[in-house]
Amino acid sequence: MHEKDTDKLVHSLKKAEDFHTIFSETRQYTIDQTLKTYLAYWLSEKHVSKSTVLKKAGIAEATGYQYFDGKRNPSREKVIALMIGLGLTLEDSNELMKKTGYAQLYPKHPWDAVVIYGITHSLTISEIDDYLYSEGLKTFGE
């Protein structure tokens, strides 16, 4: 699949006269991968088991395996917990979020700012939860 600059895609869509024509021309550049696909990629890339990731993410195995199998769609917070469990960098985490349709971590939102700090300092879910709790923010466990 060829990559096309996002700004160029937006420009093409804005200038188009006919939806069907432009969509058929730009469809090849859209992202059509599921969270399941990206999780499988990162499991392989990081050489870790689902069980290990779920323990680090603080997610029950019964629920977590359904996320990995694509049988359940996790909340944004659960996706972030999975990324922490996988040990992804902030950049890789935001890329995964963007490509799977979840909002990226945004440092102007207090909850996200704490999580960004945690990811960039390689903190565990428990350590991040402590900071979230101390700031009166929702923890991963809630």
Residue 139 lies in a domain: no
Tell whether 108 and 54 lie within a shared domain: yes
Residue type, 64: G
Residue-wise pLDDT tens digits, 80-104: 999 999 999 999 999 999 888 899 9
Residue-wise pLDDT tens digits, 21-80: 877 877 676 666 688 989 999 999 999 999 999 999 999 999 999 999 999 999 999 999
> Any idea what the CATH number is for the domain that residue 121 is in?
1.10.260
Tell whether 59 and 93 lie within a shared domain: yes
- Domains contained in the chain, number: 2
Tell whether 65 and 123 lie within a shared domain: yes
Burial category of 35 from C-beta neighbours within 10 Å (exposed 0-12, middle 13-18, buried 19 and up): buried
pLDDT at 139 over 90: yes
Residue 129 lies in a domain: yes
Domain of 39 in residue numbering reads as: 35-134
Tell whether 92 and 120 lie within a shared domain: yes
Tell whether 22 and 45 lie within a shared domain: no
Tell whether 81 and 129 lie within a shared domain: yes
